[in-house]
Amino acid sequence: MANLFLFIARSFFKLSSFSALLLFLFSFSIFTSTEDGNITIKWDIMSWTADGYVAVVTIYNFQQYRHIQAPGWTLGWKRAKKEVIWSMMGGQTTEQGDCSKFKGNVPHCCKKDPTVVDLLPGTPYNQQTANCCKGGVLNSWVQDPATAASSFQVSVGQAGTTNKTVRVPRNFTLKAQGPGYTCGPAKIVKPSKFVTADKRRVTQALMTWNVTCTYSQFLAQKTPSCCVSLSSFYNETIVPCPHSACGCQNASQPGSCVDPKAPHIASVVPGKNNLAPLVQCTSHMCPVRIHWHVKLNYKEYWRVKVTITNFNYNMNYTRWNLVVQHPNFNNLTQIFSFNYKSLTPYTAINDTSRSAW
């Protein structure tokens, strides 16, 4: 059992059974909202070189409650001309590509579609830039703006040396804990401005373009990563999830390995990364279960206890979130055991979302 949370909400009508709408999100999300925010990639050209430019690329996680957890973000694009990456700081490409035509000074990457990842903590200082080297982990901007940005520096060659000759990359892709993000085209915007440490001088980039990426649960996976169960004050037992995501027929005891043919939980294969889920054998086979239990139900108020249970032996959710949507939360009076923040109201259905972290 990961944690216990207690809600106390005041209502102007009596809550009948569970007719009210309940939507839950836990860390990696089973609920997608257009009001959650986006991830913005800003590409600032800071100086020109003999055959190209040096740029600082910054990834901002403007989402309200969706973190990017280990193994972190992966950023890709397709070059517009015949550019090469001479060198990088704060990040690296996963493949070098074919650089055989270069004599002497060999580029860092010659691929037409490079893929960049963040460097790991402990990287030598002479290879770091500001906001780098966190293994691609990004917290949401609303909850922790100090750790919601990630940057790397890239030196691009054969790219043109003026605003009129440089061409922006195409087909940006962003992956974080698998697929789910869709990135729009790069758009040239006003150059970014930077204030010096003494706040007496403002400098600006030579050229800037932005890319906006949004998350879709439908792209991420067909089955949810967690399930919700419900019970009320007259029932002390936890009602199991109505739909089982995968079976446990061959498991003889809790803790047995998940069936390799399970549709949404990867089997544990020796030699691969330890982030592949190893889920405790249960009737529902969900990596995470969220249980909503109505403890009291009176005319003037009702009280609910929410329990989050982690059945995944291979994952510790140190920066988890729970988002609950309910029409009575605009009358919420008291909360125990966790931090709370009101999110943007869903005006179309007159509900208000709440998050905990």
Domains assigned to the chain: 3-31+223-356 (no CATH), 35-215 (2.60.40.290)
Q: Read off the amino acid at residue 117.
A: V
Mean of the per-residue pLDDT values for the chain? Answer: 77
Say whether pLDDT at 131 is over 70: yes
For 323-346, the pLDDT digits (tens) are: 887 777 777 888 888 777 777 655
**pTM, 2 dp:** 0.75
User: DSSP letters of 183-217?
Assistant: E---EEESPPEEE-TTSS-EEE-SEEEEEEEEE-H
**Is the confidence at residue 284, as pLDDT, over 50?**
yes
* Average of per-residue pLDDT across 90-112: 95
Higher pLDDT, 45 or 63: 45
**325 or 61, greater pLDDT:** 61
DSSP letters spanning 78-89: E-SSS-EEEEEE
Check: CB of residue 45 under 8 Å from CB of residue 54: yes
Give the three-state DSSP class for 234: coil
Residue 296: φ, ψ to 5°:
-135, 150
Region 98-102: what's the mean pLDDT?
94
Task: Please provide the distance, in angstroms rounded to a whole number, between the alpha carbons at the two ends of the chain.
Answer: 16
Contact 75, 116 (CB under 8 A): yes
- Enter the tokens of residue 304: 């609910």
Of residues 348 and 122, the one with the higher pLDDT is 122
Q: What is the pLDDT of residues 232-248, one digit of tens each?
A: 876 666 565 554 444 44
Which SS3 state, helix, strand or coil, does residue 324 take? strand
Task: Tell me the mean pLDDT in the region 65-82.
Answer: 91
Looking at the DSSP assignment, which residues form a beta bridge with residue 175?
Answer: 74
Secondary structure percentages of the chain, helix, strand, coil, to 5: 5, 40, 55
Give the model confidence (pLDDT) of 140-181 as tens digits: 888 889 999 999 999 999 999 999 999 999 999 999 877 789
Mean pLDDT of 25-48: 70
CB atoms within 10 A of CB 40: 16
